[in-house]
Amino acid sequence: MAALAYTLGKREINHYFSVRSAKALALTAVLLLAACHAASRRYRGDDTCEYLLSSGRFLGEKVWQPHSCMMHKYKNSEAKNCLIDKHIAFIGDSRIRQLFYSFIKLINPQVKEEGNKHGNIPFEDKSASIKVDFLWYPEVNGSMRQHIKSWTEAAMAKPHIIVAGAATWSIKIHNGSNEALAQYKINITSIAPLLEKLAKSSDVYWVLQDPVYEDMLSESRKMITNEKIDAYNEAAVRILNSSSRNSKAKVKVFSVSKLIAQETIMKSSDGLHLPESSRETNAMILMNVYCNKILKPIDGSCCQPQPPLTLIQKLAFCFFTLSIIGYLIINLIHRNNYRKNKSCTDLENGEEKKPAISTPTVSTLEMLLHSFCKLGLIMTYFYLCDRANLFMKENKFYTHSSFFIPIIYILVLGVFYTENTKETKVLNREQTDEWKGWMQLVILIYHISGASTFLPVYMHIRVLVAAYLFQTGYGHFSYFWIKGDFGVYRVCQVLFRLNFLVVVLCIVMDRPYQFYYFVPLVTIWFMIIYVTLAVWPQIVQKKANGNCFWHFGLLLKLICLLICIYFLSYSQGAFEKIFSFWPLSKCFELNGNVYEWWFRWKLDRYVVFHGMLFAFIYLALQKHQVLSEGKGDPLFSNRVSNVLLFISVVCFLTYSVWASSCKNKTDCNELHPSVSVVQILAFILIRNIPGYVRSVYSSFFAWFGKISLELFICQYHIWLAADTKGILVLIPGYPVLNVMVSTFIFVCVAHEISQITNDLAQIVVPKDNPALLKRLLCIAGFFSGLLLFSAIQDQSRH
C-alpha cells in the first residue's frame, strides 16, 4: 500500500509539473524580479555606498552584512596599497578617537592605544607615505570650526578623508540642557558649508552618535541619555542634508554605527564606548567606502561602479543581438509560408485539401540561431546577476545548520525517488549519474553556506571533487578500452561538451579560462587519457583478449603515466614552463601566473590514474567472470562479499575520522592526493557489493547528475555572486525564500544550457570528416580572433 501511494505521488508530481512548465515559470520570475529591482533602483537610487553607510544587519554575533552589497575584509597590505600617499583626519571626541585607533590598526596591527587621550594623536606609515591624524575637538564649537576652515584655505593641504563627529561632551558639560542643543544646531549650521566645500575635493563623513547603555553609565554621565542623543543626531542630519549644494558635493552621514551599537553596546565596558569588535566593523566599513572603488576587490561590491564593457563583451553582445534578430526573421518567414500552405481550397469542389507538408521543417541555420537566441537571453541574465548592479549581493556566513539541514533534506528527497536500474553492473549509467548528482548537490550546499571555513567539511568535499575526477579516469578509459575509438569526432565531441559553456562565460563575464578551474582539469585529464591510450602501441580490449602480453603492455603505459605525474607534482618549475608557453599561458594563467593551475592540478594528481587502474582491473575481472552482477546477487561469494563490505565500511569511517580531526589545511592537502582514493573505493564497494543496493538508484539525484557540469559552472554567477565569493539576492529580507527562488531559476537555466550544448554539439561537431575539418578550421579562426582581440583589450587596459 505504501509503495502504491509512493508511485502515485511521483506520477502526480511529474504530471502537473514538467520541465517545460518549470522553465516558463522561471522565465516569468526572472522578468518580474528584474522589473522590481529596476524600479527599486530608480526609486531609491543605486548608490550602494548609501546602503553601506546607513543600513545592514548582523550575521551571527560579529559579521556585519550591509544591505544589498558585499563588504570586503581588508588586509594590512591592501589597506596600505589603497591609502598610499594619503592624509586622513579624524576630528572629534573620544568615540572618534576609538574609531581612529581601529582604522590605523588596519594599516598597522601593532599600534597600541596610548598617549594623551584628551589631545591630538598623530600616526604615520613612512613605507606607504600614509598620514593619519586624530584631532581632539570634543565639542562642535568655534575651535572645531576654525580648524575645519583652515583646511578650506588654499595655502593648507586638505586631507583626502575627513571623519568628524561629536555631541556627548556637549550633553555632559551642559547637563543635557535644551540651550546646549540649540547652540549645537547653530554651531553645526556654521560648520556645514565648510564641510560641503571640503567634500568637493575630499571624502567627508559625519559620524552620528551611537546609543548608550544607560544602566552602565557612571554618575557623571547619567545625563547622556538615548533621547538626548537622538535629538542631536536628528539636528545633525537635518542641517547637513538641508543645503541644495549638498546634493552635488555631499557630506556623507555615517549612520550605520548606530545600528551596530544597538546590537553591541550592552557589551561596552562603560556604557558609552563601543566594544572593540564593533569599532573594528566601523573602521572596515570606512575602508570599504573609500577603497572599494580604487582596488575593486571581487568580494567588495559596495561602492563599486558597474565595470565598463570590454571590446570582446561588446562584440558578444552584437553577435547575440544579431542571432536573435536573424532567428526572428527566419521564424517569421517560415511561419508565413506554413500558414499559406496550411489550407489549400479547391476552387472547383469548394473543399479543403490537406497540405503536402504537415509541419514546418527546421533548417540547421534556424536551429543554430534558435540555440544562440536562447543562449543570448541566458547570458543576459548571467551579466545582470554578476556584473550589472541590478540584483543585490550578500556575504556568506557559515553555521552548521545552514549546511547540514539542507543535506538531510535532499537526502530524503533522493530516497523518495528510488527506482530500479535498467542494468545491474558496477557503476552503471544510472548509478554514475546518481553519484554525480548527489555529489553536485552537496558541493552546491557547501558553496552557498560558506562551509569551506569548517575544515572537516572542506576535507570531505575535496573527496567529492576527487570522485568526479575518478569518474573521468574510469569513464574515458572504459570507453577507449572497450570501443577502441580514437577518432577525431569522439575527441571533438567531448571537448565541445566540456568547454562550450566556459568559453562563452569567459567572453561574456570577462574571466580567464582558468577561473572555472574544474573544466580545465577534466579537459587536460581527458587529453592525457587519450594520448596515453592512443599513442603506439594502441592497446584495446579486443587486441588484449588475443594475447595476455598486451595487458602487461598497458600496465607499462600506466606506470609511465604515473612516473610523469609524480615528476610534475614535485617539479613546479617544469610544470610552470610547460603551461607558460603562449597560447597555453592565455588559458591557464590566473593573476599573471600559473601557480593556481599547478595547485589545483597537484591537489588531485593521482585520482584520475586510480580511476583508470580501477577500470582496467574491473573490466579484467568482468571478462574472466569473477564478478556476479545479476539482479539481487552479491558481487562476490557471500563470505568474500561480507569481508570486503566490512573492510570498506571501516575504511570509509576511518577516512572520515581522519578528515574530521584535521587541524591544518596545508598538511591535510598534502596527504589528500594519496589517501582520497581510500574513501572513493570504499564507497564504490559499499554501493555495489550488496545486490539489492546495486539494483536501485535515485532518479532524483540522477536527474541532477546529467546536468552536473552545467550546475557546477552556472553557480559561479547566477546562484552565488561576485564570482562565488557571495550570494545572489533576488528577494531581500527573506533569506530562505530567496535561496528557494534563486535555486529554482538556477536549476532551470542549467538544464536549458545542457540542452543547448547538446543541440549545438550535433551541428558544430558533425560525424562527416570533411565537414568536421571545415568546422575545426572555423573554430581555429574563431580562437585566433579571440586571442587577437584579447591582446588588443589587454593593451588598452595597460
Closest residue by Cα to residue 527 from 499, 563, 556, 555: 499
What is the C-alpha separation between 639 and 340, in angstroms, rounded? 74
- C-beta atoms surrounding 484 within 10 Å: 15
pLDDT at 350 over 80: no
Strand, helix or coil for residue 164: strand
Amino acid at 464: L
Whole-prediction pTM:
0.92
How many other C-beta atoms lie within 10 A of the C-beta of residue 782? 11
DSSP structure class, residue 174: T
DSSP 615-662: HHHHHHHHHTT-S--STT--SS-HHHHHHHHHHHHHHHHHHHHHHHT-
At 529 the pLDDT is 97
Q: Given 3-state DSSP classes, what are the helix, strand and coil percentages for the chain, each rounded to the nearest 5? A: 65, 10, 25
Of 339-353, 419-433, 492-506, 518-532, which range is least confident? 339-353
pLDDT tens, residue by residue, 258-267: 999 999 999 9
Tell me the three cell numbers of residue 181: 542643543
Question: What confidence category does residue 2 fall into, taking pLDDT thresholds of 50, 70 and 90?
Answer: very low
Task: Give the per-residue SS3 of 110-129.
Answer: CCCCCCCCCCCEEEEECCCC
Residue (of 312, 214, 198, 299) closest to 250 by Cα position = 198
Amino acid at 777: L
Q: Per residue in 546-592, pLDDT tens?
A: 788 899 999 999 999 999 999 999 998 899 999 988 888 888 988 88
Residue-level pLDDT at 793: 84
Number of helical H runs and strand E runs in the chain = 31, 15
Indicate the SS3 state at residue 705. helix
- CA-CA distance, 243 to 221, in Å (whole number)? 34
What is the C-alpha to C-alpha distance for residues 798 and 592, in angstroms, rounded to an integer? Answer: 13
Q: Which residues are catalytic?
A: 94, 270, 273
Band of pLDDT at residue 245, cut at 50, 70 and 90: very low
User: Please, are residues 240 and 304 in contact by the beta-carbon 8 Å criterion?
Assistant: no
**Alpha carbons 512 and 506: distance in angstroms, whole number:** 6
Residue 243's pLDDT is 56
CA distance 657 to 649: 12
Q: Are 326 and 376 in contact (CB under 8 A)?
A: no
Q: Which three cell numbers stand for residue 312?
A: 570582446
Kindly indicate the confidence band of residue 631, based on its pLDDT and cuts at 50, 70 and 90.
confident
pLDDT at 647 over 70: yes
State the pLDDT at residue 724. Answer: 92
Distances (CA, A) of 161 to 108, 246, 542: 18, 17, 76
Closest by CA position to 556, among listed 589, 532, 574? 532
pLDDT one-digit tens code per residue, 193-218: 999 999 999 999 999 999 999 999 99
- pLDDT (tens digit per residue) in 675-684: 999 999 999 9
Please state the separation of Cα 445 from the chain's center in Å. 12
pLDDT, residue 601, reads 95
Burial 358-396 (b: 16+ CB within 10 A, else e): eeeeeeeebebbbbbbbbbebbbbbbbbbbebbbbbbbb
| Count of CB atoms situated within 10 Å of the CB of 98 | 21
Strand order in the sheet with 203-207: 121-125, 130-136, 87-92, 161-165, 203-207, 252-254
User: CB within 8 A of 345, min separation 6: which ones?
Assistant: 351, 352, 353
pLDDT at res. 583: 82
For strands 121-125 and 352-353, give the pairing.
unpaired
Omega before 732 cis (within 30°)? no
Which uninterrupted H or E stretch holds 40?
A: helix 19-44
